[in-house]
Amino acid sequence: MPHRRLAALPLVLLATATLAAGCAIEISPDSKIPTPFSVAPTPSASAGVPKYVCTAAYKILTDGAVSLAEGLTASGDRQRQRLHDSLTDMATKLTAEAARTPDVPLQEALTAVAADLTAGAQQADPKAYVNGGFQVVGQKLDPACDKV
């Protein structure tokens, strides 16, 4: 009997972890618990506020990384086009976020990241940029976002 219990334990733990992975934890706005990151859409009244612009920018880069990973599964011209489109889309969205914020250092950081992404998209082989410069492009936002 003990062997069956020991064999069932990993299955129970795996099932629990799988179920927990799909759960969301809600924290009351009045709570004193700090939330690490919000992927909620920016409330329209908060558009342009640096704190929300930084959150939106990091989300754009995160979603873009997922899109780039999907693009890497293709090959040849199709891969190049998908990577180009993903990088261009991220650059366009970051440029729009830059236009919404009155914070000059944040505007400059967003513009620099957008320019970097655009340059990466225009390379003959965007995959080289994805495997190189894209890995650290978000760090250009850190100094501006750490201050807000």
Contact predicate 106/148, CB 8 Å: yes
Find the DSSP H helices in the chain.
2-21, 50-71, 76-100, 104-122, 126-131, 142-146
Q: How many CA atoms lie within 13 A of 120 on its CB side?
A: 28
Q: Is the pLDDT of residue 93 over 50?
A: yes
Q: Is the pLDDT of residue 37 over 80?
A: no
The whole-angstrom separation of Cα 11 and Cα 4 is 11
pLDDT tier at 41, thresholds 50, 70, 90: low
Q: Is the pLDDT of residue 59 over 90?
A: yes
pLDDT tier at 20, thresholds 50, 70, 90: very low
Q: Which pLDDT score is estimated for 51?
A: 84
Q: Report pLDDT digits (tens) over 94-128.
A: 999 999 899 999 999 999 999 999 999 999 999 99
Q: Buried b vs exposed e over 44-61: b needs ≥16 C-beta within 10 Å?
A: eeeeebbebbbbbbbbbb
What amino acid occupies position 61?
A: L
Which residues, other chains included, contact 93 with Cβ-Cβ below 8 Å and sequence gap of 6+?
60
Q: Is the pLDDT of residue 23 over 50?
A: no
pLDDT tier at 12, thresholds 50, 70, 90: very low
